[in-house]
Amino acid sequence: MNATLRHVFLASLWRRRLATSLSLLAIALGVALGLAVQLIHAAALDEFGRGIRLLNGAADLQVLGSRAGFSDELYARLAQRPEVDQASPLLEIETRLPARDEPLRILGIDLFRIGAVTPSLLPVSANPDEAAPAAGDRLDALQSDALFLSPAASARLGLKTGDRLRVQVGTRERTLRIAGTVPAAGVGQALAVMDIAAAQQTFERIGQLTRVDLRLAPGVTRALAQARLAALLPPGVAVLTPDDAASEVLGLSRAYRVNLTMLAAIALLTGGFLVFSTQLLAVVRRRQEFAFLRALGLDRDSLWHGLLAEGAVLGLIGGLLGCLLAYLLAALAFAVIGGDLGAGFFRGIAPQVRVEPVLTLIYLALGVFAGLAGAWLPAREAARMVPARGLRAGDEAEVYRARPRWGMALGALLLAALICLLPSIAGVPVFGYLAVLLILAGAILSLPGATVAAMAMLRPGRSTLWRLARTRLAAAPGQTVVAGAGVVASVALAVSMAIMVDSFRGSVDDWLTRMLPADLYLRASDATASGYLDPESVARVAALPGVAAVRPVRFETLRLGETGGAIALIARQVDAGGGLPLVAGTLQPPTGPDQPYPAWISEAMADHLRLGVGDPLSLPLGARSHPFRVAGIWRDYARQQGSVVIEIADYRALTGDTRTNDLGLTLTDGTAPEPVMTAIRATLGEQLSEMILPGTLRAMILGVFDRTFLVTYLMEAVAVLIGLFGIGTTFAALATSRRKEFGILRHLGLRRRQIGLLLATEAALSAAVGVVIGLLAGGAIALVLIEVVNRQSFHWSMDLQLPVGLLLIFSLSLILLAALAARLSGAQAMRQDAVLAVREDW
């Protein structure tokens, strides 16, 4: 078998080099995309995990509050508990750096406590006047302006020991001195540390902490300590294990990672379909050869294994190429769009691509699997052939005589509809993805029946070519399956993604209209960073000429529910401007002294906490819990972890916090924004605030949206490209396999040009059936993506929008391309002499 395998089977791959190359390319692209996504995520998660371990150190438990923090009296109480051996307080601040784009994460630490729990955060002082750093000097570290940078932060900011760094607090500037480094932070973590008292003083957070790391006394279990300590905590403060805290961020990015992985898998699946098409056509062309080999004594199993070996070799070589390409793509992605593929989950880390042997082997195996899966049916078809029939010329048509599979197709679609009703597993919409696969399977299974039905509906016509094409497809619907499987898969994917992305973008656009009703926006810093506007600043801005009204917004975080998960709090005027993009409830809830405060929760929060309109809700504000009632549920595309909107008047009354993050300005009629912007800069300082026009902000947000979907677009393009390869190679191979038939038609008087037209007509009809099925399947998959996958992954709803024009152009282009590919390949096939073509039939 070895020599037979080499000379008969594997050599055939070399003989049909074009088809082999395209199959290899298809598998390579599918493997490359999938592995690249995994490599990027593995590197990012690895670096993120390293950062978490670095920041958590040897902590057994962490007491976490909101961004506003909690009183440091709690630290004193915790440190005295018998369950606690060591306690280390921290104040974590995202500080805005004037005239710089990225904020800096500063950790205020207790230098005398940190060594026992998180020694990797210990700073090392350096004397700037000496070439080599001196030994650590804790007294220097206690200075109120001393800041220590990690190597990554130092490189990013371009600062060294002795340099000065300006930080923003509210709308004022403070200057800190770079007093040394945090060497154990490594090159991937951009952060800084300073003494906790200095941090509290610098950032006006006297008496506040955001975290306390705990090491438990010997013999005390985490569960026991967690239960006992939780009882001591004020509302809005949670005690979590370090793993729970880390999984909050990982959980947010997981859905995005899984979605990209699934898209890559569909690209690989399309590659598998291309292998199927090329292998099946090769089997048709080599039918007599196989029959003859069977006559010579090649047994059924050897033939089956030989053909599977062809598929496996295709998958192996394609997989190897794909793995190489994946590492290149991953390196390119890190350089161009960052370690989170543009989604913004892992800020402040700088991961590097590393060789991942297990992942690489898994994707190599997936490449081989795609090759084997694509070769499976053709190999079975060849092995099932009766040799005595195969030896006769003209037996090729047998392969194309596919039976309609309506029952199986409908069964697959019905099952898909049913499993869509099932919930996600650990936040991953497993059944949604299975439904996508079932819809694809149902679509492909329906191809033979749909072809027969479509041909029956078409008028016979008077043109000979039309009649020949129509009768050929009606009698051999399997031809459409061969040509159309890849078309259906790629069209369905492209169409579903186009509908989903269009619906999403349209919904985001509508959301932005409602969320950005003002004429001009002013902010002291990013919502998470240290800048804010105090009431005086707000009043000065409101008093500027041309400003008709100001609408302040305050952003905070809250910890809610049994798990203490962090959600975003937005305090603003609710029933003003654009209101909120509600999906349920009202903007005008009943008011009165007996009524609880109204709150409008996002869809994600409603899903996480299983809340509906009218449900009571307790929000920890100002160290106390306050009764609220859910007045409405709204769409929030910005905060996947969940968010709640309350009236800013209620927020201020309950917390006493009068700071403002964002200020929406309504200008008086006829006032241009530019003079107002100039006046604000003059009032607040040149570099201490950011102003943006709603149009610019909208364009920026949609730009971020498009960047997030860049990888999606790329994968979609690859899948369509693979599908187009499929059309080209399929019709080229079909034309070659039917040379004898065309030779006979030439003998009967058809011209070469007419043969080309016949092929083009058949191709256009096959592609049209494939495209229509693909459009229907794509529409169904889009519904699953919107209603199941997105809802379960991101908790986002959106309004369905059909990009009709785009789909129409795409469909017609594919049909025309198929006709063109067939016409060109027909011309190639007809170069052979008609007499030679039919010689074996004499």
Partner 1 sequence: MLFIENLTKRFDAAFDRPLFERVSLTLAAGESVAIMGESGVGKSTLLNCIAGLESVDGGCIRLCETDLTTLDEDGFARLRRRDFGFVFQAFHLLPHLTLAQNVALPLWLLDRDDRTADARARVMLERVGLAPRADDWPRHLSGGEMQRVAIARALVHEPALVLCDEPTGNLDPGRAAGVLELLFERIQAAGAVAILVTHSVVAAGHADRILHLTQGGLIAAPVVA
In whole angstroms, the minimum distance from the beta carbon of 10 to partner 1 comes to 11
Residue 660 is classified by DSSP as B
**Of 138, 164, 300, 624, the one binding partner 1 by CB under 8 A:** 300
Residue type, 107: L
Show the CA angle centred on residue 77, arms to residues 76 and 82, nearest 5°: 115
Asked if residue 11 binds partner 1 (CB under 8 A), the reply is yes
**Of 18, 76, 332, 386, the one binding partner 1 by CB under 8 A:** 386
Secondary structure class of 175 (helix, strand, coil) = strand
**Of 15, 138, 164, 403, the one binding partner 1 by CB under 8 A:** 15
In whole angstroms, the minimum distance from the beta carbon of 297 to partner 1 comes to 3
Q: What is the dihedral of CA 360, 362, 364, 366, to 10 degrees?
A: -150
Stretch that binds partner 1, among 284-292, 588-596, 645-653, 684-692 (CB under 8 A): 284-292
Question: Within 10 A of 384 (CB to CB), how many other CB atoms are there?
Answer: 10
Say how many residues make up the chain: 842
Please write down the HEC assignment for all residues of 709-769: CHHHHHHHHHHHHHHHHHHHHHHHHHHHHCHHHHHHHHHCCCCHHHHHHHHHHHHHHHHHH
Question: Which residue, 397 or 544, has its beta carbon nearer to partner 1?
Answer: 397
Stretch that binds partner 1, among 153-161, 285-293, 611-619, 659-667 (CB under 8 A): 285-293
Any bridge partners for residue 558, and if so which? 567
Stretch that binds partner 1, among 2-10, 327-335, 552-560, 785-793 (CB under 8 A): 2-10
Q: How far apart are CA 753 and CA 738, in angstroms?
A: 16
Question: Which residue, 536 or 840, has its beta carbon nearer to partner 1?
Answer: 840
Question: Which residue, 462 or 831, has its beta carbon nearer to partner 1?
Answer: 831
Stretch that binds partner 1, among 99-107, 128-136, 385-393, 728-736 (CB under 8 A): 385-393
Q: How far apart are CA 491 and CA 774, in angstroms?
A: 5
Residue type, 716: E
Q: How far apart are CA 681 and CA 675, in angstroms?
A: 10
Question: Which residue, 7 or 160, has its beta carbon nearer to partner 1?
Answer: 7
Asked if residue 831 binds partner 1 (CB under 8 A), the reply is no
**Of 205, 215, 287, 294, the one binding partner 1 by CB under 8 A:** 294
Site string for partner 1, 752-791 (x = CB under 8 A): ----------------------------------------
In whole angstroms, the minimum distance from the beta carbon of 740 to partner 1 comes to 12
Question: Within 10 A of 736 (CB to CB), how many other CB atoms are there?
Answer: 19
Helix or strand (DSSP H, E) at 406: helix 406-419
Q: How far apart are CA 27 and CA 322, in angstroms?
A: 7
Asked if residue 840 binds partner 1 (CB under 8 A), the reply is yes
Stretch that binds partner 1, among 287-295, 540-548, 782-790, 811-819 (CB under 8 A): 287-295
Q: How far apart are CA 780 and CA 500, in angstroms?
A: 11
Question: Which residue, 282 or 402, has its beta carbon nearer to partner 1?
Answer: 282
Closest CA to 78 of 228, 262, 196: 228
In whole angstroms, the minimum distance from the beta carbon of 285 to partner 1 comes to 11
Stretch that binds partner 1, among 227-235, 380-388, 433-441, 818-826 (CB under 8 A): 380-388
Asked if residue 21 binds partner 1 (CB under 8 A), the reply is no
Asked if residue 384 binds partner 1 (CB under 8 A), the reply is no
Asked if residue 833 binds partner 1 (CB under 8 A), the reply is no
Asked if residue 358 binds partner 1 (CB under 8 A), the reply is no
**Of 77, 137, 241, 292, the one binding partner 1 by CB under 8 A:** 292
Stretch that binds partner 1, among 294-302, 483-491, 501-509, 578-586 (CB under 8 A): 294-302
Closest CA to 210 of 59, 56, 69, 61: 69
Query: In 573-623, where do the E strands start and end?
Result: 582-585, 597-602, 616-621
Q: How far apart are CA 831 and CA 371, in angstroms?
A: 32
**Of 297, 593, 656, 805, the one binding partner 1 by CB under 8 A:** 297
Question: What does the DSSP assignment read for 34-96?
Answer: HHHHHHHHHHHHHHHHHHHHHHHTT-SEEEE--TT-EETHHHHHHHTSTTEEEEEEEEEEEEB
Stretch that binds partner 1, among 7-15, 35-43, 47-55, 734-742 (CB under 8 A): 7-15
Rg, C-alpha atoms of the chain: 33
**Of 26, 45, 196, 298, the one binding partner 1 by CB under 8 A:** 298
Asked if residue 18 binds partner 1 (CB under 8 A), the reply is no
**Of 231, 296, 421, 426, the one binding partner 1 by CB under 8 A:** 296
Residues touching partner 1, count (CB under 8 A): 29
In whole angstroms, the minimum distance from the beta carbon of 731 to partner 1 comes to 22
In whole angstroms, the minimum distance from the beta carbon of 737 to partner 1 comes to 14
**Residue found by looking up tokens 């004429």 in the block:** 519
Stretch that binds partner 1, among 51-59, 70-78, 290-298, 367-375 (CB under 8 A): 290-298
Asked if residue 12 binds partner 1 (CB under 8 A), the reply is yes
Helix or strand (DSSP H, E) at 794: helix 790-794
**Of 46, 248, 289, 398, the one binding partner 1 by CB under 8 A:** 289
Closest CA to 170 of 678, 840, 657: 657
Asked if residue 295 binds partner 1 (CB under 8 A), the reply is yes
Site string for partner 1, 389-408 (x = CB under 8 A): --x-x---------------
Is 650:597 a contact under the CB 8 Å cutoff? yes
**Residue found by looking up tokens 């013999």 in the block:** 219
Question: Which residue, 332 or 388, has its beta carbon nearer to partner 1?
Answer: 388
Is 207:72 a contact under the CB 8 Å cutoff? yes
Stretch that binds partner 1, among 289-297, 319-327, 490-498, 763-771 (CB under 8 A): 289-297
Closest CA to 109 of 160, 154, 54, 153: 54
- Residues lying near partner 1 in the complex (CB under 8 A): 1-4, 7-8, 11-12, 15, 288-289, 292-301, 386-388, 391, 393, 839-840, 842
